[in-house]
Amino acid sequence: MITTKIDDDLEAIFEIAKNMLKRDEYQGPMALVFDEKEKRIGIAYLSFNSDKEKSHMRNQLKEQILKNDIKRYITIFLAWCAITKDKIYRRPSRDINRREILIVTEYTPTKVKVISQYFKRNDKEIVFEEEIDLSNGESIWNFYNDDEQIFAKQDKYIEKVYDDFYKNLSKEVYAKFKDKMDNAKTKKEKITVFKEILEEADKRVKDQDKTMLEDIHKDV
């Protein structure tokens, strides 16, 4: 971690991050740690290439922030964002319609403030698009919250995405074959319709693969 002087206003930091992204086409993940006792700002560069490295980096930063009784810090990340409605859960980075986003988040023991904005790459030009409200999200980088609660909420969210997908799938397939099933009189006719229902459901699940990119994420 290095120390420096920097404008500590969140909006100003967001603008600095935007300008750096425009200039370099990249903004490395980092944390700005405000040490009130020492009257300084520490900059921690959060470089990782796998889930294991990410977890290690996160735990190290958390340890330092809590150990030094830090009351405010800001993280800067580039991330992928994806709409999960009507989809089987996947990492946002794997969604075929994913979008890149710049996220700058301020953490204190009592509140979290987020500024986030979509952007796209036109050749070597960074073009910023609309802002998005992520203030209701739960982040693993919030070290003032209990880890178990954070990860439990994330697991619950993933479970809900799966649950919503299969509930909607059941409703849609049922609606499509309702008349056929109602008109099936013999056992043979009912079995035939039931097979069609299973085939339709299976096809829709397999079609989800068409909305996902190859998984190149490292978890070791």
Lowest mean pLDDT among 4-18, 39-53, 138-152: 4-18
Rounded Cα distance between 211 and 88, Å, is: 10
Amino acid (one-letter) located at 10: L
Which of the residue ranges 17-26, 30-39, 132-141 has the most confident prediction, judged by mean pLDDT?
Answer: 17-26
CA distances to 82, 89, 151, 217 from 93, rounded to whole Å, are 8, 11, 19, 9
Q: What percent of the chain has pLDDT over 70?
A: 94
Structure tokens at 145: 């919250």
Look-up of token digits 């009784």: 69
Residue 3 has pLDDT above 50, yes or no: no
Q: How many CB atoms lie within 10 A of CB 95?
A: 18
Q: What is the mean pLDDT of the segment spanning 86-103?
A: 92
Give residue for tokens 């097979």.
195
pLDDT of residue 4: 46
Considering the chain, what percentage of its residues have pLDDT values greater than 90?
Answer: 76
pLDDT at 84: 80
Phi, psi of 194 (to 5 degrees): -60, -40
Structural element, H or E, at residue 74: strand 73-81
pLDDT digit string (tens) for 160-219? 999 999 999 999 999 999 999 999 999 999 999 999 999 999 999 999 999 999 876 555
Output the pTM of the full model.
Answer: 0.83
- Residue 139: which of 79, 179, 191, 83 has the closest Cα? 79
CA distance readout (Å), 54 to 49, 145, 220: 7, 18, 10
Q: What is the mean pLDDT of residues 139-148?
A: 93
CB contact at 8 A, 131 and 117: yes
Closest alpha carbon to 68 in 17, 151, 137, 3: 3
